[in-house]
Structure 1
């Protein structure tokens, strides 16, 4: 099944922008939202140059404004007539070790990555239930598999919560035409980690986004991308001692 009309949150940069480019190459219509609307305007021009035959809609959205999340997603549905896929991508990675004075940064990450993701899922699923069709995609992380230290502690916890939330939604609609997918990216270079110098197995944004889009198109329940080494890492990490996990973060 071709999901022609695709909505991506957090689309102004990083993985959201990269996925938009890949879908534009495939001839899909796009609804793109993010806080920085000027970047969305630039991206729209870039996408139209890639494929002038697709329809592109853009709107400003701060996903932490939960009432606005519902309004914007519904407005995109009105624009497109029908939304076939919503990719809940917006997120952040602020924070530090718990108890070191950075509660508000950790709180912001927790809210954006989970509560605001919940708002996006709620808005998307309302539309999909009314259509009795659609594909919900959440962008989690390989860090959701186990806990992590330092700046990754709350980030990993928020992504674990998002993965669990998505699985619950999947169970809830498993006997309907609505599909639900969780993507767990490994280390992909983007704005969220551009200041991090030493990261194992990291790939560039284009390589990572191509792997993500390929997995999304398959509409599997869970996918760890790129496949090497993250499809294997998920199993090793679950039984690894804490001393080993500490070396990864």
Structure 2
């Protein structure tokens, strides 16, 4: 059992709900995010419901790469071991390229890929030393194709994250490492990043959507589209449909 779990971007959305659901399973949690006041509220909620769960909080901006390594090692020192790291922190700001929004497109790309690279590096250093661990990256169904408008930078950064995770897995297979990886590609699950989006097909509420994510993580699935219905089918079609058809999902 993966007892000690670190979740980045845990102050809201999918990360916050994953923390609740793993706590209900009796897992100890290392939670980090920029907004520590929200982490404090989450910690109080979890400890009230699950007093046997050890919850440790750290302030972390994942774009501060030195801080990523420091905070992960602080979690390691506090827990003794880290059994699972969930690279969840991300953002979705941006707009069509060439419209003066480079600042936001760049920030999205840096947060979703470069900062994720730092988190994976920091986690794997710990896992290699332990000779065990489970690295989980949270990508997106949008990673499967190029997307228009504000989704362009977001989707491409998540595609990079998918390939990064597979590259890590390839190296672990090559070296016969016991470390496991999972890449989770959620469909449309209601969260803070998309709370203003209306009339989106197949949008799933946060709790059941995250439940499907947690289930896939617990099974240590190498690659999972969640919720399975309809997103496994959507993923199959996305890879094969003409680009003009996929624009409706952008």
Q: Distance in 2 between matches of 1:95 and 1:240?
A: 25
Q: Distance in 2 between matches of 1:112 and 1:218?
A: 27
Q: Distance in 1 between matches of 2:76 and 2:125?
A: 11
User: Which residue is equivalent to 1:6?
Assistant: 5
Q: Distance in 1 between matches of 2:199 and 2:117?
A: 32
User: Which residue is equivalent to 2:181?
Assistant: 180
User: Which residue is equivalent to 1:151?
Assistant: 150
Q: Distance in 1 between matches of 2:131 and 2:99?
A: 47
Q: Distance in 1 between matches of 2:230 and 2:69?
A: 37
1:129 aligns with 2:135: no
Q: TM-score, normalised by structure 1?
A: 0.99
Instruction: Identify unmatched segments of 5+ residues in structure 2.
Output: none
> How many residues are paired up?
248
Give the CA deviation at 1:176.
1.4
User: Which residue is equivalent to 2:203?
Assistant: 202
SS at match of 2:31: strand
Q: Distance in 1 between matches of 2:240 and 2:18?
A: 32
Give the CA deviation at 1:187.
0.2
SS at match of 1:156: helix
User: Which residue is equivalent to 1:19?
Assistant: 18
1:220 aligns with 2:226: no
Which aligned segments of 4 or more residues in structure 1 are displaced greater than 4 angstroms?
A: none
Give the CA deviation at 1:198.
1.7
Give the CA deviation at 1:50.
2.0
User: Which residue is equivalent to 1:63?
Assistant: 62
1:91 aligns with 2:101: no
Q: Distance in 2 between matches of 1:67 and 1:36?
A: 18
Q: Distance in 2 between matches of 1:192 and 1:46?
A: 22
User: Which residue is equivalent to 1:45?
Assistant: 44
Q: Residues 208-247 of structure 1: matches in 2 within 5 Å?
A: 208-247=209-248
Q: Distance in 1 between matches of 2:239 and 2:229?
A: 17
SS at match of 1:239: coil
User: Which residue is equivalent to 1:163?
Assistant: 162
Q: Distance in 2 between matches of 1:136 and 1:208?
A: 20
Q: Distance in 2 between matches of 1:9 and 1:198?
A: 29
Q: Distance in 2 between matches of 1:3 and 1:110?
A: 30
Give the CA deviation at 1:81.
0.4
Give the CA deviation at 1:185.
0.4
CA offset digits 1:194-223 (Å, max 9, x no partner): 111121100111011100000000001100
Give the CA deviation at 1:69.
0.4
Q: Distance in 1 between matches of 2:238 and 2:213?
A: 21
Q: Distance in 1 between matches of 2:147 and 2:170?
A: 27
Instruction: Identify unmatched segments of 5+ residues in structure 1.
Output: none
Q: TM-score, normalised by structure 2?
A: 0.98
CA offset digits 1:214-245 (Å, max 9, x no partner): 00000011000000111111111011111111
